[in-house]
Chains A and B, each alone.
Chain A
Amino acid sequence: AQSVTQPDIHITVSEGASLELRCNYSYGATPYLFWYVQSPGQGLQLLLKYFSGDTLVQGIKGFEAEFKRSQSSFNLRKPSVHWSDAAEYFCAVGTDGNEKLTFGTGTRLTIIP
């Protein structure tokens, strides 16, 4: 069975600084990988997804993520964060033949002025 690990429970970043959120997955074959964002009091919103092809994927709100098979990772990055990026971020994995997404435990991002 597939699994997702987000090693960082909480990250604090200064506004304007760069950001990298870590995600590691466990799955025998090529996974389908996702990042979702949850703003306070809201549901989750899809930021970006990786199915195949180019390992660097672009998403909404200026986010990108890179799939690294050798490291079983799919880290989320943003070159310069804005106060509105404060939220909880979830990495998720889907696999062929399984319609269910497996979510990580989330990383809470705090932005300081």
Chain B
Amino acid sequence: DARVTQTPRHKVTEMGQEVTMRCQPILGHNTVFWYRQTMMQGLELLAYFRNRAPLDDSGMPKDRFSAEMPDATLATLKIQPSEPRDSAVYFCASGLSGTLWELFFGEGSRLTVL
């Protein structure tokens, strides 16, 4: 059963620490999205990639967030330094260009920054 895998599922860290979240998209999917979900803002698109190239990261705070796809099977989202306002659930979703918007979401990484 193909699915998007995210790690870690839960992360508690202290302010100022570096946080790295990882995502393994569904094999064969060439588009990867990073979303952040909070009670106040709902689902926000942070960045997305196609064929490993970043297409849009306008939703991401540039000074502390970075997203990469080192290879087709791994996407990373890094926060350095982390702040309490970064506490949220971060979702990765993958899809196929040509069937866009039909996204497959991972179970999310719940981040708590103290």
Contacts and interface: CB of A to CB of B under 8 A. Distances in A.
Interface stretch (B40-48, B60-68, B75-83): B40-48
Interface residues of A, number: 20
B105 A43 contact: yes
A106 to B, nearest CB: 6
> Per DSSP, are chain A's interface residues mostly helix, strand or loop, or mixed?
strand
A91 to B, nearest CB: 11
A99 B31 contact: yes
Contacts of A36: 105
A91 B7 CA distance: 27
A63 interface: no
B56 A100 contact: yes
A46 B93 CA distance: 12
Contacts of A45: 105
Given A43-B106, A44-B105, A45-B105, A94 B100 contact: yes
A22 B87 CA distance: 29
A92 B105 contact: no
Interface in B35-54: 42-43, 45, 48, 50
A101 B55 CA distance: 14
Interface residues of B, number: 22
Given A99-B31, A99-B55, A100-B56, A44 B103 contact: yes
Contacts of B107: 41-43
A34 B103 CA distance: 10
B5 to A, nearest CB: 11
Interface of A: 32, 34, 36, 41-46, 49, 90, 92, 94, 99-101, 103-106
9 smallest CB-CB distances across A and B, nearest first, come from: A43-B105, A94-B101, A103-B43, A44-B105, A105-B42, A43-B107, A99-B100, A101-B101, A43-B106
